[in-house]
Amino acid sequence: MATNNLGPVLSAFERRPESLISLLQAVQESLGYLPPDALGTVARHARVPRSRVYGVASFYSQFRFNPVGRQRVAVCRGTACHVGGARFILEQLERTLGIPEGQTTEDMEYSLETVACIGCCGLAPCISVNDEVSAKLTPKKVRKQFKQARK
């Protein structure tokens, strides 16, 4: 597993507890997420208990503990999208991709997450796929877009 090769990533940081968050960011940058082994490796490098690493990491929504898919689908739950039916967009995506929010498909193609606001309220409801926005969606459009992609 890739966690064996974290040496160069870690060595940029001092071996002390204060480095913890920077270490977690660097490791996530390198691996895409924070696998359990990596948390242990970070703990050892920063000289803090493994539980504390997870305690800190799980507080911040920026840290992920599961691998993400090649395509990261983010459903906007901002006010405008919410009013525009973001709930139904999310439900449709969950059904089409076959995974609940926060998970990744088995083939590692898609991850499904929600975000507070993408910042294009005029286009609500919208989602982003790897930072590319699809706008003014309906459940039907979503199904079409992803059904095709699933084939």
Partner 1 sequence: MREKIEVSINGSTVAVDSSATVLEAALERDLFIPHLCHHQDLEPAGVCRLCLVEVDGRLVTACNAPVTEGAEIRTDTEAVKETRLGAVELLLVNHHRGTVDCEEGDACELSAIARFVGVDETRLDRYRRPDRLLATDTSNPFFEFDPNICVLCGICARTCDEIVGVAAIDFVHRGFDTTIGSAPGQQWINSDCVSCGECVVRCPTGSLSFTGFEIPEREVTTTCTYCGCGCGIHLGVSGDRLVSARGERENPSNEGRLCVKGRFGFTFVNSPDRLTTPLIRRNGTLEEATWDEALDLVAERFSASRGDAFAAIASAKLTNEENYVIQKFSRAVMGTNSVDHCARLCHSPSVAGLVQSFGSGAMTSSSKDLGDARCILAIGTNTTAAHPIIGLQVMRSIRAGGKLIVANPREIELARYADLHIQHRAGSDVALLMGMMRVIVDEELHDPEFIEARCENFEAFRDSLAEYDEATVEEKTGVPFAEIAEAARMYAQNSPAALLYAMGITQHTHGTDNVLATSNLALLTGNVGVPSGGVNPLRGQSNVQGACDMGALPNVYPGYQKVDVPEVKAKFEEAWGVELDDAPGLTHLEILAGVTAGPIRAIYLVGENPALSEADATHAREAMEKVDFLVVQDIFLTESAEYADVVLPAASFAEKDGTFTNTERRVQRVRKAIPPVGDSRDDAWITCAIARRMGAPGFDFESADEVMGEIASLTPSYGGITHDRIEQVGLQWPCPDASHPGTRYLHAETFPRPSGRGRFFPLEYRPPDEEPDAEYPLVLTTERSLYHYHTSTMTRRVPGLETLRPEELVEIHPRDAVALTIASGDRVRVTSRRGEVEARALVTEVSPPGTISMTFHFHEAPTNVLTNAAYDPVAKIPETKVCAVRVERA
Is 44 an interacting residue with respect to partner 1 (CB under 8 A)?
yes
Q: Which of 6, 20, 24, 54 binds partner 1 (CB under 8 A)?
A: 54
Nearest one of 107, 112, 102, 103 to 73, comparing CA atoms: 112
* Least distance to partner 1, CB of residue 54, Å: 5
Report the alpha-carbon distance of residue 60 to residue 55 in Å, rounded.
9
Q: Which of 5, 11, 22, 51 binds partner 1 (CB under 8 A)?
A: 51
Which of 140, 134, 138 has its CA nearest to residue 86? Answer: 138
Q: Which stretch binds partner 1 (CB under 8 A): 12-20, 36-44, 101-109, 114-122?
A: 36-44
Question: Could you tell me how many residues make up the chain?
Answer: 151
Please report, as a single letter, which amino acid is at residue 9: V
Site residues for partner 1 per CB under 8 A? 4, 34, 36, 39-40, 44, 47, 49-52, 54-55, 58-59, 65-66
